[in-house]
Amino acid sequence: MVQSESIGPVIGPDHPDVRASKNQSGFETGQVLKQDGVYHMFVNEMTPKARLDMRIAHWTSKDSVEWRREGTILESVHGRSSTNLRSEVWVTGMAFNEADDCWNMFYVAYRGGDTNKGEKFYSDYEGIIWRAASQKKGRAGIGGPYKDMGILMRPDENSQKWEGQQGVDSFFPYQVGEQWYALYGSHNHKPWSPWLVGLASAPALAGPWKRMATGNPLSLVKVFTENPVAVRLADGRWLAIFDSYGDQEIGYSISADGIVWPPEIRLKVQTGGNCWTPEGDHALRTPLGIVTEDDGTFTVLYTAKTRAQSIFYAIGRCKLGWKSEK
């Protein structure tokens, strides 16, 4: 499965653009895709502390190794509180909308906890999924600027029993035939529940999106997964990779139709002398997308904690491969 591993981070705390942008805690969650031979990474930057005061940034690379920061797409609203509905913003997916001839960015916005109601101030509550569209038409408009087009999913009367106080914690859309589907997640803080993933569907990328009436939550994991991203394989099957438990591991699942997803298989992406992330279930974090290369391999960028004393989540890289069933 693993074709090659990065010896160290491709973007770490000493990268000149990391220093110039005052990114003090690193990266978490996003998507990498390839357009006209250029890799584009839309990723959350954490400054000053991990998972607080977020901003969505755009980076580019010609080889997925040497990266340059292009700019900030969106920032959270400073002053975390239970009434600030954009206390955090996290990009969770990108897709080109043929109907509107523009790129769409999907992100989740959270409020902080209300301690007067027994909530945890620094935990995330009532996640809302927003859709933003590039104001420059065509695939060349991938760099934006982006404008909010509306809310696609939020905790409401349609939320299912397995969903919790965190609201909708991720949203990744993909098209199967004429129908759109999205992997979305949720979790309950108190009483504690697993981080699980369900499936929603819509006739168009802009919606309306509805949670699937049967099959939710998916059987991917029993305890924890977040931020799944999916791609269609050459043989017609679908591959999803996601944040999971395990030392230096990510999870993946291969679906025959993009709708029924079997339980995860965990894949170690750092081994031997290439291990620059410490052991622990949340040291190696989140795959940022699956880029299909011309030779049939897949380039995967992911976030992972470095071994340095100061907390910094860097960007790692590996090459993966799956055999076709044809």
**pLDDT tens-place values along the chain, 326 residues long:** 677 887 899 999 999 999 999 999 999 999 999 999 999 999 999 987 777 789 999 999 999 999 999 999 999 999 999 999 999 999 999 999 999 999 999 999 999 999 999 999 999 999 999 999 999 999 999 999 999 999 999 999 999 999 999 999 999 999 999 999 999 999 999 999 999 999 999 999 999 999 999 999 999 999 999 999 999 999 999 999 999 999 999 999 999 999 999 999 999 999 998 999 999 999 999 999 899 999 989 999 999 999 987 899 999 999 998 777 75
**Does residue 296 lie in a domain region?**
no
**Does residue 59 lie in a domain region?**
yes
**Does residue 88 lie in a domain region?**
yes
**Does residue 52 lie in a domain region?**
yes
**Does residue 266 lie in a domain region?**
no
Contact 107, 128 (CB under 8 A): no
Number of domains observed in the structure of the chain: 1
Give the domain range for residue 220: 13-242
Say what the pTM is.
0.96
> What's at 77, amino acid-wise?
V
Contact 71, 57 (CB under 8 A): yes
Task: CATH number of the domain at 73, please.
Answer: 2.115.10.20
CA distance 166 to 221: 18
In the block, tokens 């939020």 appear at: 154
72 to 36, 43, 46, 56: CA distances (angstroms): 22, 10, 12, 6
**Does residue 17 lie in a domain region?**
yes
CA distance 281 to 273: 19
**Does residue 302 lie in a domain region?**
no
**Does residue 194 lie in a domain region?**
yes
Give the chain as a 3 state SS string.
Answer: CEEEECCCCCECCCCHHHHHCCCCCEEEEEEEEEECCEEEEEEEEECCCCCCCEEEEEEEECCCCCEEEEEEEEECCCCCCCCCCCCEEEEEEEEEECCCCEEEEEEEEEECCCHHHCCCCCCCEEEEEEEEEECCCCHHHHHCCEEEEEEEECCCCCCCCCCCCCECCEEEEEEECCEEEEEEEECCCCCCCCEEEEEEEECCCCCCCEECCCCCCCCCCCCECEEEEEEECCCCCEEEEEECCCCCEEEEEEECCCCCCCCCEEEECCCHHHCCCCCCCCCEEEECCCEECCCCCEEEEEEEECCCCCCCEEEEEEEECCCCCC
